[in-house]
Amino acid sequence: MAYWVISVSGIAILSVLCDVILPEGEMRKYIKTVFGIVVTLVIIQPIVMFVSRGASAPQAGGGTDIEIQQQYLQSSDKRKETYEISNLAQIMQANGIDVTDISADKSSGTLFVTVHENYNLVHDKLIRQIASKILPDYNINIVWK
């Protein structure tokens, strides 16, 4: 919508400037006609997009903006998840737990932690406690090697 307003404003200002600069005569009449057609086309552009896309009114002018925002949000979520997993690994290393791999499956809501040591009840509880604080919505699956 903002793009459309800027376009209409820009064309109208350009039209007024040309009207002021051009000398009187036949050429002025033709140029004013051309600018009139351009302004009309810019004004009806959202209607043409609406009809050609068959979109609902809110999406008529900004469908691509919504798609870009969704891509940004997905990218942001992925960066946050990567940061949280990295943070989780650092905390576990600081607590003496030898973690070899941590991965998260968002679709199943499972956090996979691979630990390079034999089963240790104290470490098991500590891993679950740390992971549940950082990633509370995930089920924790620990593999001991």
Q: What residues does each domain of the chain span? A: 2-61, 80-144
pLDDT tens digits for 49-84? Answer: 778 776 554 444 455 667 778 888 888 888 888 898
Which residue type does 128 have?
R
At 142 the pLDDT is: 92
User: Residue 140 — pLDDT band, cuts 50, 70, 90?
Assistant: very high
For the chain, what percent of residues have pLDDT higher than 70? 91
**3-state DSSP assignment of residue 109:** coil
Buried b (16+ CB within 10 A) or exposed e, 5-24: eebeeebeeebeeeeeeeee
**Domain covering 80-144 in this structure, CATH number:** 1.10.287.4300
Contact at 8 Å (CB) between 61 and 49? yes
Q: What is the pLDDT of residues 114-134, one digit of tens each?
A: 998 888 899 999 999 999 998
With a cut of 90, say whether residue 45 has pLDDT above it. no
> Of 96, 93, 90, 130, which Cα lies nearest the Cα of 111?
130
The two three-digit tokens of residue 3, written as one number: 């793009």
